[in-house]
Amino acid sequence: MPLFGNTFSPKKTPPRKCASLSSLQLDRSAHAIDQGPEYSIPTMNLAGQSLKFENGQWVAESGSFTGDRREMQRLRKRNQQLEEENNLLRLKVDILLDMLSETTAETHLMEKELEELKHHSRRRK
């Protein structure tokens, strides 16, 4: 025999009242007050140069590179020179590897011929 009653039966909870949907139906000005101002384009300032984020890339704002335009051109020219030098060095490495492969193959053929000659000369003795 249960001490506190026959069975466990919790009380039914009352139905919830309908919540207001007014926060979802705000006009633009009320939404700005409620949610904060709209987001603007991200910008940053590095070493006196102002950049803004547009279309997935950081772009210099107009007029911020006026003093450094010559420096940018010099760096672009140097970058182009280094890329050309890098391509030339890659070509040279490829040629050297081909030459090494050819020399190795020739050496193996010569060693094989030498072994055959040694084997042939032993037969004659």
pLDDT of residue 80: 96
Q: Phi and psi at residue 55, in whole multiples of 5°? A: 55, 40
pLDDT score of 33 more than 80: no
Predicted confidence band of residue 94 (pLDDT cuts 50, 70, 90): very high
pTM: 0.43
Mean pLDDT value across residues 79-99: 97
**Lookup result for tokens 């006009």:** 27
Find out whether 54 and 65 touch, Cβ atoms under 8 Å: no
**Lookup result for tokens 């590897």:** 97
Distance from chain centroid for Cα 7:
64
pLDDT of residue 98: 97
